[in-house]
Amino acid sequence: MRFALHLIFYPLLGLLMIGGASAAEMTGQQRATAAGRGLVGSPAPRLAVKTIDGQTIDLGELYGKKAVYLKFWATWCTPCREQMPHFQHVYETAGPDLAVIAVNAGFNDSVAEIEKYRQKLGITMPIVMDDGRLGAAFNLRVTPQHIVIGRDGRIIYVGHLADARLDAALSAARTTRGDDHLNAAGASLTAAIHSLVVGDTLPASTVRTLDGHAIALKQGTPRRPTVFVFLSPWCESYLATTRPSVSADCRAAREQVTALARTSKVRWLGVASGLWATSDDLREYRTKYRVTIPMTLDGSGTLFRQFGVKDTPTIVVADADDHVVRRIEAAQLNSLAGVVEGL
């Protein structure tokens, strides 16, 4: 995807274009609106989260008392940075009837990066680094992604831009009746997400590749070791500007996988994050870089959460008996060839 385009046109158009100039491609606002179609009007989930400073915030306790504004963002995200003055202003002027919480998406980020970002931009609102539960509950698809919850505990707005629609939603959220929250109790999300670790068995689920083929994660016969390559189709291009070291790691992983995938004794599967990506974006990535391994778009983020992947590139290796035997992240990429050859 040609993310560099949005660095030029975002301030002029007031929106973020992903990919090239095709009119068929979705803007950030369109992606966020699509993500919110099943959310708006529904009760918000009740979930206790911790800030990076160790403070516990119980969202369920806020419903009925305050409106809630959650903003998903990332330190590498250009429009997130452009919108931060608006976000900080909303926090500073919120008053007693609006809780404002910054939710770092927890994707290709770290607490250290967040701390540097907070100090540089002068951010003072509470910051939560998502462990995957908030992203799953609020259908995270873009950054920034705004979630506005009324005092009655119902989601009233999902968007991407810091514009009049967001401001109107924040105003309306305060006017909903707080006592109505008793009739709008959302699900309680208390259990931590279990992520596969070395020794675990692959889940008994099936994914569909870009070409429409069904691939069972747990194999029948014949049985071969499996290498899962967790990636993002915009990592190399977009992060070349905002996080060049990660961009270089993504390129190195792709080049190694391309060279190693010629072996027939290993089953390969590329798993692409659904954050800022559609199937068309993934196809464009495949064509541009001549990727030959089968790939699937993890639109809902289920596989990333199941495998505990928060950074790209990450490679997870399973043996022929479907047991996870190795996890390779950016710092260990030079070990990939030896691992594959030893399978």
pLDDT(266) > 70: yes
- 206-341 shares the fold of 4-183: yes
Q: Work out the pLDDT band at 189, boundaries 50, 70, 90.
A: low
For residue 74, give the nearest of 4, 153, 129, 7 by alpha carbon: 129
Of the options 3.40.30.10, 3.40.640.10, 3.30.43.10, 3.90.650.10, the CATH number for the domain spanning 206-341: 3.40.30.10
When the candidates are 3.40.30.10, 3.10.20.30, 1.10.260.40, 3.60.21.10, the CATH number that belongs to 4-183 is: 3.40.30.10
The pLDDT, as a whole number, for residue 29 is 94
Rounded CA-CA distance 83/68 in Å is 18
- Residue 191 — pLDDT band, cuts 50, 70, 90? low
pLDDT of residue 269: 97
pLDDT number for residue 109: 96
Task: Determine the average pLDDT of the residues in 158-184.
Answer: 86
Q: What is the dihedral of CA 80, 85, 86, 88, to 10 degrees?
A: 100
Domain boundaries, the chain: 4-183, 206-341
Q: Is the pLDDT of residue 273 over 80?
A: yes
Exposure string for 196-225, b = 16+ CB within 10 A, e = fewer: beeeeebeeeebeebeeeeeebebeeeebb
pLDDT of residue 6: 38
Work out the mean pLDDT of the chain and round it to a whole number.
89
User: Taking the model in full, what pTM does it have?
Assistant: 0.88
